[in-house]
Structure 1
Amino acid sequence: MADSIPVTRIEVPMSRINAIRDAVCGVTHLGEGPDASRLAGASDAPALLAFLSDPAVHAPIYTLPRPLTEASVEAFITDHIAQRAEGEGLLFVREDGEGGIVGYTDIQVWPHWAAGELGGALHPSLHNQGRGTAGAGMSFSWMFRALHLDLICETASPENVPTHRLLDGLGFERKGEVTSTRTDGTTRASLVWEVTRADWFARHKD
């Protein structure tokens, strides 16, 4: 987690808070059609570990468990199942045609601020095909609509230039730097970006 996310904090009415929690609890898929990502379950731990074990996948992501083991990945999934029950988080996996995992999406939600954060990764074989940018854009639109959010915040390490370019290109506004804390208690500096619902849909027309 990051110690000061989101930077913009606007309290929302309890009716909105409850609507956001209900929306999170009711979600089963991210997207539509055969390529939609589904909720992760405990039985996905071996396949998700195999996907995450590639340093090209896990190295830039501070929210993943350390060390990566089948037990820690299963606990990571189980924690997200509990977050969904509370209306505060979601974990999705994307499969290939043979049942292997080729991507995951981790969504953190702050219902009391109507805000959320999107994380995740695609298999390196799917990089540099425009899928990352297109998928991120679709996911951000989905978060605003399906989860009734007003604000999306993102973080990235100062060295993660591809993510900087993606967020800048999608119209996120830079909000400074915070200290992010990994699951093992170690910390790193993180740059912060935010975009509001109004600004997102003014820029990204369907």
Structure 2
Amino acid sequence: MFIQSGRLCIRLFRHNDHTEVQGYASNPDVMFYIPGGALDEAGVRSFLEENIVSAPRNYAVVQAETGAVIGHIVFHPYFGQHTYEIGWVFDPRYCNQGYATEAARAVMDYGFCRLHLHRIIATCQPDNIPSWRVMEKLGMRREGFFKQCIPRGDGGWWDEYYYAVLKEEWDKGSLFDR
């Protein structure tokens, strides 16, 4: 997958992305809501290997102007080949600048227009306000609230919001400004 948007390029990861991915993926604050948490150096190498050699589920988000990897987009089949899940993780230096929304919008457009998906879903914990705000900016609707459904590393449980958008809603474009 290679997608170009106004300020970004979404592409397959490369081995030489290691340092930039390590910069954000090793940060416990950045990875707090991600199952498995922060990655050590071996974890980053494994993450890159899985997404370069195996079937990729995560894609590098690259700032077009500088070539810097500023985060990644999760995008993979969720249920059959008609429903995909999307998610995002960004280096905090690039947060609150519209990059997550821009990257997700470009990937969702690719999913609906090129892969002919029927539905794209996204999930997040209710406390992860920036993430569900991006989902709502994208025109996704909150379809569910699941109580204590995700185990946390500390023995506790997270609640989860479930969002989705259908191709017919995406095509209308009336829910958001593309």
TM-score range, shorter chain: 0.7 to 0.9
Distance 2:34 2:163 in 1: 16
- 1:61-120 CA distances to partner (integer Å, 9 max, x unpaired)? 33xx44511111121222234124xxxx34224257665422211212236241111112
Q: For residue 192 of structure 1, what is the amino acid of its counterpart?
A: Y
Over 3 Å counting, the alpha-carbon distance change for 1:121 and 1:194 in structure 2 is same
- Aligned match of 1:75: 46
- Aligned match of 1:37: 10
- 1:146-172 CA distances to partner (integer Å, 9 max, x unpaired)? 332111010010111222223233321
Q: Is the strand fraction higher in 1 or 2?
A: 2
Report if aligned partners of 2:82, 2:118 keep a CA contact under 8 Å in 1.
yes
Identity %: 24
- Aligned match of 1:189: 159
- Provide structure 1 residue ranges, at least 5 long, that are not aligned to the other structure: 1-26
Say which structure, 1 or 2, has more relative contact order (CA 8 Å, 6+ apart).
Answer: 1
- 1:14-33 CA distances to partner (integer Å, 9 max, x unpaired)? xxxxxxxxxxxxx2x13258
Counterpart check, 1:170 vs 2:141? no
- Provide structure 2 residue ranges, at least 5 long, that are not aligned to the other structure: none
Distance 2:48 2:152 in 1: 16
- Aligned match of 2:110: 142
Count, aligned residues: 173
Distance 1:189 1:161 in 2: 13
- 1:42-70 CA distances to partner (integer Å, 9 max, x unpaired)? 342333111223344222333xx445111
Distance 1:34 1:172 in 2: 22
Which stretch shows the higher mean deviation, 139-148 or 91-100?
91-100
Which stretch shows the higher mean deviation, 172-181 or 147-156?
172-181
Distance 1:157 1:104 in 2: 18
Distance 1:60 1:182 in 2: 9
**Mapping for residues 44-55 of structure 1, pairs under 5 Å:** 44-55=17-28
Distance 1:170 1:72 in 2: 31
- Aligned match of 1:14: none
Distance 2:54 2:153 in 1: 17
Q: For residue 44 of structure 1, what is the amino acid of its counterpart?
A: D
Q: 1:46 is paired with a residue of what secondary structure?
A: helix
Report if aligned partners of 2:25, 2:44 keep a CA contact under 8 Å in 1.
no
Distance 1:198 1:97 in 2: 33
RMSD: 3.1
- Aligned match of 2:172: 202
- 1:167-195 CA distances to partner (integer Å, 9 max, x unpaired)? 23332122213423679998532110111
Report if aligned partners of 2:83, 2:121 keep a CA contact under 8 Å in 1.
yes
